[in-house]
């Protein structure tokens, strides 16, 4: 059994608790992918202290040199792409092609932020005074706590860690336990790149102990979190209390609107990919499919036909379309919501069952699931399920469709299928979502573009692209007079 240690101040260390946590394969509950440390509150403090001691030298190293480290990490990650992708599939259940794609994306993110080392970090501003120079420059926050979820165990940590480091911060990173083995392999790539001691620290354990200790640590200068809305609110409360800058990415209940003039094959393909790839375990996954009445029956017929072609297994085969839910807990949540949908009066027209035939009996598998006769007030139309479940909702117009789309506590992503440019422009202006896509699935994020949502989905500061510097740095205004 491989045991993965914490990484603190440049050393791999076992927790003094002596306790280990099994990382279970969702494809086979009898397979332990690896073990991680059940760390203590004191070890969180040690990690934060290591980052605090390292931050000054790291900041003074300079942005260009910091970027060079990220280039080296990218090279090492690329050398280990296949191993890390296979670990991701075994540990989280995402299909191997998706895992390879995610790991490749992590490499691209590292190179994007490595190049930030050569980009400007401020602006010259005209002064009202003669013989004076005024400009801005970016200064790092200091020590940043990073807490990541299990559904993107390569991409999300990297899109937080890479900008944090290149902009001059030291980091304490706590991943979700369900995907911490994959996270440890990512941290090893940073270690092998020769990152200075204390600049990146990695600590694992239960959210109720390690996570809580990190978000309440008064020595942090910033904390960035991706996960549930409930936990996000706790992060916000603790950060506000301690005057720590915070960034939250939480849930979504993402609508796809299909108008009468849409290309049906393209729309169905987008809905299937957006709803069922990664077993629906994406914050941008398609959850509500809002259809104009004139296209409803034809769309439904094609959707059911294509859904029947979906193949499901452990994800390691390159032909697999969908893998298991990431954990038994997540499977139970999905099955519970399917029962809620039935009880609320929605019509289950496809799937809805746990798969327990043959080898699938040992894993956390559920069929892709489709409901119709769904009212916008139903829980399956309002609450994030985070599984392969979609609700079909019939409307009479674009205006009604946008109204239904906006009738949500969330506002992460939204998609529209149409051939009418006027309808597309109206949708872009009126839909309440941070990521808006036309004739494309709702689940699509490009690393060079800002990412974040509205309402309960996110706080205001965006992730990824150049927008990331708005969180990881503060603006310093400089005024120099010649005499």
Catalytic residues: 249
Count of C-beta atoms within a 10 Å radius of residue 449: 12
Structure tokens at 235: 């992060």
> Containing H/E element for 429?
helix 421-430
HEC secondary structure over 380-409: HHCCCCCCCEEEEEEECCHHHHHHHHHCCC
Cα separation, 220 vs 141, in Å, equals: 9
User: Which tokens is 457 given?
Assistant: 């989905």
Task: Measure the CA–CA gap between 131 and 480, rounded to whole angstroms.
Answer: 9
Residue of 412, 461, 385 whose CA lies nearest to 284: 412
| Strand pairing report for 28-37 and 20-25 | antiparallel
Gap between the Cα atoms of 153 and 84, Å rounded: 10
State the Cα torsion 275-281-282-284 to the nearest 10°.
40
Burial 95-129 (b: 16+ CB within 10 A, else e): bbbbbbebbbbbbebbbbbbebbeeebeeeeeeee
- What contacts 121, CB < 8 A, 6 or more positions away? 63, 137, 138, 469, 473
Per the listing, tokens 């296949």 go with 82
Helix intervals (H) in 40-95: 41-61, 63-79, 81-92
Closest CA to 413 of 372, 458, 382: 458
Contact 87, 188 (CB under 8 A): no
């Amino acid at each position: 059994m491989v045991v993965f240690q914490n990484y603190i101040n440049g050393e791999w260390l076992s927790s003094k608790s002596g306790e280990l946590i099994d990382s279970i394969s969702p494809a086979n509950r009898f397979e332990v992918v690896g073990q991680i440390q059940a760390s203590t509150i004191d070890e969180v403090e040690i990690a934060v202290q290591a980052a605090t001691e390292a931050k000054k030298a790291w900041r003074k190293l300079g942005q260009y040199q910091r970027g060079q480290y990220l280039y080296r990490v990218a090279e090492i990650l690329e050398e280990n792409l296949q191993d890390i992708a296979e670990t991701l599939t075994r540990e989280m259940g995402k299909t191997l092609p998706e895992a390879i794609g995610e790991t490749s994306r992590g490499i691209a993110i590292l190179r994007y932020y490595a190049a930030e080392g050569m980009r400007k970090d401020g602006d010259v501003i005209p002064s009202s005074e003669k013989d004076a120079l005024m400009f801005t420059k970016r200064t790092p926050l200091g020590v940043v706590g990073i807490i990541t979820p299990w559904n993107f165990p390569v991409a999300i940590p990297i899109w937080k860690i890479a900008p944090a480091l290149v902009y001059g911060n030291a980091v304490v990173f706590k991943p979700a336990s369900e995907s911490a083995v994959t996270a440890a392999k990512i941290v090893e790539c940073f270690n092998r790149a020769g990152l200075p001691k204390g600049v990146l620290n990695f600590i694992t354990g239960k959210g109720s102990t390690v996570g809580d200790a990190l978000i309440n640590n008064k020595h942090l200068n910033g904390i960035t979190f991706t996960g549930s809305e409930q936990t996000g609110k706790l992060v916000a409360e603790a950060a506000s209390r301690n005057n720590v800058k915070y960034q939250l990415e939480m849930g979504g209940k993402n609508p796809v609107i299909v108008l009468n003039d849409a290309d049906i094959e393209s729309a169905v393909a987008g809905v299937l990919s957006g709803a069922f790839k990664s077993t629906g375990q994406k914050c941008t996954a398609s959850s509500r499919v809002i259809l104009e009445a004139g296209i409803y029956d034809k769309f439904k017929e094609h959707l059911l036909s294509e859904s029947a072609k979906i193949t499901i297994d452990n994800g390691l085969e390159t032909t697999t379309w969908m893998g298991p839910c990431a954990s038994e807990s997540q499977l139970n949540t999905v099955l519970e919501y399917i029962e809620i949908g039935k009880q609320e009066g929605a019509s289950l027209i496809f799937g809805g069952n746990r798969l327990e035939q043959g080898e699938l009996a040992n894993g956390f598998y559920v069929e892709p699931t489709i409901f119709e006769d769904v009212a916008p007030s139903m829980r399956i139309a309002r609450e994030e399920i985070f599984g392969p479940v979609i609700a079909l909702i019939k409307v009479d117009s674009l205006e009604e469709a946008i109204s239904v789309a906006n009738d949500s506590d969330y506002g992460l992503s939204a998609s529209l299928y149409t051939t009418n440019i006027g309808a597309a422009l109206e949708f872009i202006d009126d839909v309440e979502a941070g990521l808006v896509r036309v004739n494309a699935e709702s689940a699509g994020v490009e690393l060079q573009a800002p990412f974040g949502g509205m309402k309960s989905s996110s706080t205001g500061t965006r992730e990824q692209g150049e927008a990331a510097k708005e969180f990881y740095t503060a603006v310093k205004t400089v005024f120099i007079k010649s005499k």
